[in-house]
Structure 1
Amino acid sequence: MMKNWRKVIVLAVVLAVFIAAFIFLNNINNIKDPNDPNDPADTGTEEKLLDIDRQEIKSITLKHGHEEFIFIKEEIEVESEVTDDEGQTKTVTEKKEIWTNPDIELDEAKINNIALSAELSTITRVIDEAPEDLSIYGLDRPIVVTLLMKDGTKHSIEVGGQTPTQDNYYVRRGGDKTVYTISKYRGDMLSYSKFDIMKKSLYEKDEVAVEDITALTFTRNGEKIFDSVFDVATSEWKITWPLNAKADMMEFPKFLQWLSGVTVSEFIEENASDLGQYGLEEPSYVFDFVLDGKQYGIRLGSKTDTHYYAKMNDNPMVFTVSSSNLNFVDLSLVDLIERFIYIPNIADVEKLVIEMDGRVDTLLIYANNEDKSKEEFFINGRKMETDNEVSLFRGYYQGAIGLMADRLDFEAKPEGQAEIRLTYTMKEAKPDKIVVVELIPTNDGYGYYLVKNNEYSGFVMGKRQLDKDHGIRFLYEKLVNGLTESASE
């Protein structure tokens, strides 16, 4: 029992020592050194730095050294579409106040932040009422925010450096010697640089849609990869160089989605004397495109961990863009095009002759999209009687139209006899009544050049595709086996 009491007494003594030490050290920390302006006493005041109403501000002048930026508040009329209770849409005109500057495209939210901070900034500490050396507060060369009110009065704030703890800024009121501190949050806004207030949208309008882009040329490491245009007649994107082909519906739109949504992450340097340091003398990627009828060009240079250095048109500003959505820029051209040599809908074909592996198969097609019960299909004179036979027939047809390139070769000149030939007779000439697809062996034994109506467009297909699960040879054998089983039943 005595041992337990001794333990309690020892613990109590230790606790008392800790409390005494804490009080002693706390009192020392609260003693201000008159020669240390960086350790001010907290006055606990909640006094506003300025007594203003931001709605009454007429203009704001932001001065950084020799640079001065003036933001003028203007009232404009804005049209918008509204829908009433009866579902009727009408155009209404409203008045709106905006901030303007003739030389800078402004991020209005940032200018509003300056006005708001000028109104709401409160004094967190009174530091020095008669400072002898302003340089220790960064106020010998302050950032000056001047507010011109609608009644003609002026107010200004001088913003210096941050406190050692970096949670406050040193400031002074214009015409007042006293040095105060305000929160870092407000101080950051009052000390915006030119780059901070610049609009980060790259286009004239704020909301850009994929549909606004109508042409695109893409260059990678100095080599042009493709030209493309949006075909209004077919509502499809077409690759027009180095071949004529439909754009792939999965991969190609990634270019358009990125271009329509890209914004500046950070402005880096204006009028850079050495673009090479950013990789922009010889850019890695170049996007030249037409948006709303206007030509644009975005160049991407060197890559950091998370961003690319970039430049827009002939604008002298170097900035960065996020690299997170740019995983498509190294796709090969073959991944960006529709690679099928010919892929007609079965309902548009009346006959298909397949010459392959030393045999000739004639497929007669009477497809009817409106009434499936009226459909009839024949192969080499045999009618497909059961649903399974029809399914196998359609599978063979899918193998025929599924011939597709897996690489491109624009330098090749196909010669020699076709090893496989498919002759389509169409119900209507759109534009051709007869379409012939030929597979001519490549010189290196890899596979086949794909030729349509004697025109070679650079498509090359590997031999192994014929025998894959979706390949024409595999599906032919599947059809034959299925018909054999049907005949034996």
Structure 2
Amino acid sequence: MLNWKKITILVVVLGVFIAAFIFLSNNKDKLGNDSTSSPDPSETASADVVDLFDFKWQDITKMILKRKDGEIILTKEEKEVLTLEEDGNGGTKKVTTKKNLWVTPDFNVDSNIADNIATSADVLESKRLIDENPQDSTIYGLDGSVVTTFISSDGKEYAIEIGKQTPTNDGYYCRIKGSTQVYTISSYSGKTLSYGKFDIMDKNLYGTEAISADDITALKFSRSGEVVFDSRKGESQSEWLITEPLEREAEYTEFAKFLDWIYKFRVSEFVEENAQDLKTYGLDNPRYVFEYTLADKPYTLKLGSLKDDKYYGMLNDDNTVFTVNSSDLKFVDLPLIDLISTFIYIPTIYDVEKLVIEMDGRTDVLLINDSIGSDAEPDFRLNGIKMETSDQESLFRKYYQGAIGLTGDRLDLNAEPKGDWFARFTYTRKKADPDKVITVELIPTEDGYGYYLMKNGKYSGMIMGKRKLDDPEMGIRQAYKNLIEGLEKK
């Protein structure tokens, strides 16, 4: 009987605790709180999720971005835009199309980014209702300094004020114009609706997408204050001529990396307008300078200090500082020899009728009669001996390739070659281009490393190591040995 009394008492006590808990839970907002006070910004007052706007972004024709540093007015206008399209022949052509674009008279706008502002508002919904009627809205950063206004084609106006980030950095406080309610919205929406000038400025500094490497006709590149090369475009896109500090045809595979980056480059971030202290960015004495002509317009692009994998840059000395990604600029430290054709002279066998090789104490005369597309058999002769078999013809071609395969592996632009030549190659072309006869000479270097490469008596600026003459695959000595052995076979 005593145990039953104890159990009954425990049940009664438990019931009292449960009743007290329910009472306190239902009346917690009424006990000890002023019903008109604002909750701390870190509190969660409600889980209400609502659509904050009821317009479609396509209907917005004007946006007013009020920011701490001023006001930006954007209007949507129909513009004629040049674009590139495939021409059906493997190339491109420029076509004019009409597009609705966001514009302002003050700077070029990235219309896609501006569209993002409107679309973010179109789909904007709250995360939580924080405060119905705050006494002090500044605790949420809502002081009227960041307001984005949307005006639709029918004249309706919508506006939202963006405050500061929430304490957990996963959202922003906001308030719709004409309402006292404070909501939180996603971080993405808050950032997008707070975009300022640097966010919406067009990162394509050329003002058009209708450009390609074909539109570049001249390029001068300097590194650390010294000219690496000056160049100009030849008759075709893949033909570029280095004109300084030596005259050589460009090695297009590597050289094209400069051209591709120039027309494709985009700003990563804008940093400062009207910059006065260029030294801060390393732009008073830039690390790299590109001077080029693109679509008949001259440009000077300077790159300064490297910070966080980005170079500071400035175009045409307008003192607007921006950054570009360094990962796209791995080619800027290529040595000059990698950017030029290192062949001293490389005519095709079809363009040459005679080659005289003077080397190693002998003179070989190669007579050549071969044409592309001709049904006639080629006529190759070495010192009067005709190549009778296909194997002999192949060995003859290899010997010719050994002659035209002479390449420099070093540059010495200050050298003044003196002395007699070690080897001489005299080409007689079928047609002058511009010369009928071209002479290549190898003059030994003073240090014994190799040979100065000369063409028509003029030093090329290149040096070839001795070892290249004995290369087992492409060396001229091995090619000669193989040809003689092939002729001795019966």
Please give the range of the TM-score, normalised by the shorter of the 2 chains: 0.7 to 0.9
Matched, 1:231 2:240: no
> Residue 18 of structure 1 corresponds to which residue in structure 2?
none
Distance 2:344 2:304 in 1: 36
Q: TM-score, normalised by structure 1?
A: 0.86
Instruction: Give, in angstroms, the shift of residue 148 of structure 1.
Output: 3.0
Alignment of structure 1 residues 175-186 onto 2, 5 Å: 175-186=178-189
Counterpart pick for 1:44 among 45, 48, 51: 48
Instruction: Give, in angstroms, the shift of residue 343 of structure 1.
Output: 1.0
Instruction: Give, in angstroms, the shift of residue 402 of structure 1.
Output: 0.7
Distance 2:350 2:458 in 1: 25
Distance 2:99 2:247 in 1: 49
Deviations 1:132-186 (A, max 9, x none): 2222211125411122334444322110011122222111122322212222222
- Structure 2: stretches of 5+ with no match in the other structure: 1-20, 87-93
Partner of 1:176, secondary structure, is coil
> Residue 113 of structure 2 corresponds to which residue in structure 1?
110
Residues 123 and 105 from structure 1, CA distance in 2 versus in 1: closer, same or farther, beyond 3 angstroms?
same
Partner of 2:312, secondary structure, is strand
Residues 80 and 390 from structure 1, CA distance in 2 versus in 1: closer, same or farther, beyond 3 angstroms?
closer
Instruction: Give, in angstroms, the shift of residue 473 of structure 1.
Output: 1.6
> Residue 86 of structure 1 corresponds to which residue in structure 2?
none
Distance 1:78 1:106 in 2: 14
CA contact (8 A) 1:341 1:452 kept: yes
> Residue 209 of structure 1 corresponds to which residue in structure 2?
212
Paired AA for residue 431 in structure 2: E
> Residue 461 of structure 2 corresponds to which residue in structure 1?
458
> Residue 486 of structure 2 corresponds to which residue in structure 1?
482
> Residue 419 of structure 1 corresponds to which residue in structure 2?
422
Distance 2:367 2:204 in 1: 57
Partner of 2:330, secondary structure, is coil
Distance 1:71 1:464 in 2: 67
Matched, 1:255 2:258: yes
Distance 1:280 1:361 in 2: 58
CA contact (8 A) 1:157 1:172 kept: yes
Residues 401 and 81 from structure 1, CA distance in 2 versus in 1: closer, same or farther, beyond 3 angstroms?
closer
Counterpart pick for 2:195 among 184, 192, 196: 192
> Residue 404 of structure 1 corresponds to which residue in structure 2?
407
Partner of 2:434, secondary structure, is coil
> Residue 472 of structure 1 corresponds to which residue in structure 2?
476
CA contact (8 A) 1:448 1:462 kept: yes
Residues 55 and 452 from structure 1, CA distance in 2 versus in 1: closer, same or farther, beyond 3 angstroms?
closer
Instruction: Give, in angstroms, the shift of residue 58 of structure 1.
Output: 3.2
Distance 2:210 2:367 in 1: 52
Partner of 2:446, secondary structure, is coil
> Residue 130 of structure 1 corresponds to which residue in structure 2?
133
Distance 1:149 1:365 in 2: 78
CA contact (8 A) 2:45 2:131 kept: no
Alignment of structure 1 residues 73-92 onto 2, 5 Å: 73-76=76-79
Matched, 1:172 2:168: no
Residues 236 and 40 from structure 1, CA distance in 2 versus in 1: closer, same or farther, beyond 3 angstroms?
same
Partner of 1:73, secondary structure, is strand
CA contact (8 A) 1:269 1:319 kept: yes
Instruction: Give, in angstroms, the shift of residue 449 of structure 1.
Output: 1.2
CA contact (8 A) 1:42 1:124 kept: no
Distance 2:237 2:484 in 1: 38
Residues 80 and 409 from structure 1, CA distance in 2 versus in 1: closer, same or farther, beyond 3 angstroms?
closer
Report percent identity of matched pairs: 51
Distance 1:404 1:236 in 2: 19
Matched, 1:288 2:288: no
CA contact (8 A) 2:238 2:252 kept: no
Q: TM-score, normalised by structure 2?
A: 0.86
Deviations 1:11-67 (A, max 9, x none): xxxxxxxxxxxxx9xx99xx8897523212333332x22333433333211111241
> Residue 15 of structure 1 corresponds to which residue in structure 2?
none
Residues 350 and 198 from structure 1, CA distance in 2 versus in 1: closer, same or farther, beyond 3 angstroms?
same
Paired AA for residue 233 in structure 2: F
Distance 1:280 1:146 in 2: 38
> Residue 14 of structure 2 corresponds to which residue in structure 1?
none
Partner of 1:328, secondary structure, is helix
Instruction: Give, in angstroms, the shift of residue 235 of structure 1.
Output: 6.1
Paired AA for residue 313 in structure 2: A
Residues 54 and 363 from structure 1, CA distance in 2 versus in 1: closer, same or farther, beyond 3 angstroms?
closer
- Structure 1: stretches of 5+ with no match in the other structure: 1-23, 84-90
Partner of 2:222, secondary structure, is strand
Distance 1:214 1:149 in 2: 45
> Residue 6 of structure 2 corresponds to which residue in structure 1?
none
Residues 182 and 255 from structure 1, CA distance in 2 versus in 1: closer, same or farther, beyond 3 angstroms?
same
Paired AA for residue 258 in structure 1: W
Deviations 1:215-262 (A, max 9, x none): 100001100011111123796111111222111022111111111211
Instruction: Give, in angstroms, the shift of residue 333 of structure 1.
Output: 1.2
Paired AA for residue 346 in structure 2: I
Please, what is the CA RMSD of the aligned residues? Answer: 2.6
Instruction: Give, in angstroms, the shift of residue 82 of structure 1.
Output: 10
Distance 1:226 1:258 in 2: 17
Instruction: Give, in angstroms, the shift of residue 401 of structure 1.
Output: 0.6
CA contact (8 A) 1:368 1:374 kept: no
Alignment of structure 1 residues 307-456 onto 2, 5 Å: 307-371=310-374, 373-456=376-459
Counterpart pick for 1:304 among 294, 307, 323: 307
Residues 384 and 301 from structure 1, CA distance in 2 versus in 1: closer, same or farther, beyond 3 angstroms?
same
Instruction: Give, in angstroms, the shift of residue 393 of structure 1.
Output: 0.9
> Residue 244 of structure 1 corresponds to which residue in structure 2?
247
Paired AA for residue 314 in structure 1: D
Aligned residues: 451
> Residue 21 of structure 1 corresponds to which residue in structure 2?
none
CA contact (8 A) 1:171 1:182 kept: yes
Instruction: Give, in angstroms, the shift of residue 359 of structure 1.
Output: 0.9
Instruction: Give, in angstroms, the shift of residue 313 of structure 1.
Output: 1.3
Distance 2:404 2:95 in 1: 54
Paired AA for residue 481 in structure 1: E
Deviations 1:109-130 (A, max 9, x none): 1211222222321232221122
Instruction: Give, in angstroms, the shift of residue 381 of structure 1.
Output: 1.9
